[in-house]
Amino acid sequence: MIGVQELRKGVTFELDGQIYRVLEYQHHKPGRGAATIRTKLRNLRTGATIDRNFISGDRVQDIRLDHRTVQYLYRDGNLYYFMDVDTYEQPAISAELLGSAAQYLKEGTTIDVLFYEGQPLDIELPVTVELEVTETEPGVKGDTATGATKAATLETGLVVQVPLFVDVGDVLRVDTRTGQYLTRV
């Protein structure tokens, strides 16, 4: 058990049978009365985000998550299969758990997966990925003074806005946090 005053961004704990990760933390001490800890939490099983206030002195059950590095292998229906780079086990992760992160996965991509009691709970993508352009309109010459962009479809199905000089077959670096084009590789 840990006191709520020890909670910080990124800490994982169990409360009421659910596993939460702290997204935001704020300690508030009014002029009189007990201090309160305001948190924004994400339920790692359902993905829901909630705001929760604790009174200073409350306690929650801390837990340990296993971090395992895995490599993406293939998709079969609603399941994505990975290979643990250390043990060569092949855990399957549902499309629901991956959510929009699935758009950044191509064969061979290495990610970190958080496990609790053998069950995958969350994934951590690399900050950037490199994906090939499969479809885009040709750029119009001379229309670059305004910083114009066009839509490009990448090999995983992700659509991003890119500068006019990007063509089919180019490999682009994309930020996985924002989903934006960074540079041509």
pLDDT at 140: 67
Radius of gyration, CA atoms only, the chain: 21
pLDDT in tens, 74-118: 999 899 999 999 999 998 988 888 888 889 999 999 999 988 888
Domain that holds residue 39: 2-62
Q: What is the pLDDT along the chain (185 residues), one digit of tens a residue?
A: 888 888 888 888 998 888 998 989 998 888 888 889 899 998 888 878 999 999 888 899 988 888 899 999 999 989 999 999 999 999 898 888 888 888 999 999 999 998 888 888 888 899 999 999 999 988 766 656 677 888 999 999 999 999 888 899 999 999 998 989 999 88
Alpha-carbon distance of 41 to 22, in angstroms, equals 5
Q: Are residues 48 and 99 in the same domain?
A: no
Domain containing residue 32: CATH number: 2.30.30.30
Count of structural domains within the chain = 3
The model's pTM: 0.74
Domain containing residue 141: CATH number: 2.40.50.140
> What are the b/e assignments for 27-48, b being 16+ CB within 10 Å?
eeeeeeeeebbebbbbebeeee
